[in-house]
Structure 1
Amino acid sequence: MQFDKHTSIYLQIAEYLYDRILSGEWPDGQRIPSIRDMAVQLEVNPNTVTRTYTLLQEEGTLENQRGIGYFTAADARQKVLDQKREAFVRNELPAIFATMEQVGLTKNDLIDQFETYQKEQKQS
């Protein structure tokens, strides 16, 4: 994993875990790698992984079953989807809308582009 020096490593690891959950690699209720195993896999300090797991546990995405390990929560995928949607709407859409206004794109132009994108994705 290549880390971006402008973002905390534990947050980048959280994004990595979110991606595993959203992709279905780690379905709801699935046991995930131990802190030590994840640290070895990502070549980071176990304390960094602990910080990530604690964050995800506090937000309800992970559950720690004492003596067994960490698991994705029963509704982990939905929690991650909700969180990602909220962040996208709050952080990215305003910039997209501002650029659209600058370059003169309309809502209908955006819809057309999105439909073209979806068709291309289905063909590939």
Structure 2
Amino acid sequence: MKFSNEKPIYIQIIDLVMEKILKDEWKLDEKIPSVRELGALIEVNPNTVMRSYDKLQQDEIIYNKRGLGFFVSLDAKDRILHARRSNFLLHEAPNFFQMAKLLGISREELIQLYNDN
């Protein structure tokens, strides 16, 4: 995995895990790679992966079955969508609309672009 310098690596791992869950690559209530497995796969120190998994557990995206490993929570998708939607509406959308207004992009142009996608 290629990491960017814009965000801490553990956050990028969290994003990776959430993306895999949203894309159904990692299904609800199924086991996910161990800390060591994921660390080896993406070439990252297992301690960094553990930090990511700890945060995902706090956010109830994954859970640990003692002795068995980590599993995707049953409501992980709903939690991820809620968090990402809130983040988009609070942080990204205002910047987007501010830039559109600054550049003189009309509401109609935005609607057309939205409908085309």
Coarse TM-score class (shorter-chain normalised) = over 0.9
Give the structure-2-normalised TM-score.
0.95
| Identity %, equivalent residues | 35
Deviations 1:22-60 (A, max 9, x none): 111112111100011011001111100100000000000
Give the structure-1-normalised TM-score.
0.90
- Residue 102 (structure 2) pairs with residue 77 (structure 1): no
Matched residues in 2 for 1:77 and 1:106: separation? 34
Find the counterpart in structure 2 of residue 100 from structure 1. Answer: 100
Shift of 1:96: 0.8
- Residue 56 (structure 2) pairs with residue 64 (structure 1): no
Matched residues in 2 for 1:107 and 1:78: separation? 30
Q: Is the 8 A contact 1:39 1:49 kept in 2?
A: yes
Give the unaligned 5+ runs of structure 1. Answer: 118-124
Runs (4+) of structure 1 moved beyond 4 Å?
Answer: none
Shift of 1:90: 1.2
Find the counterpart in structure 1 of residue 37 from structure 2. Answer: 37
- Please provide the CA RMSD for this pair: 1.0
Q: How many residues align?
A: 117
Q: Is the 8 A contact 1:27 1:77 kept in 2?
A: no
Q: Is the 8 A contact 1:33 1:70 kept in 2?
A: yes
- Residue 104 (structure 2) pairs with residue 87 (structure 1): no
Q: Is the 8 A contact 1:10 1:52 kept in 2?
A: yes
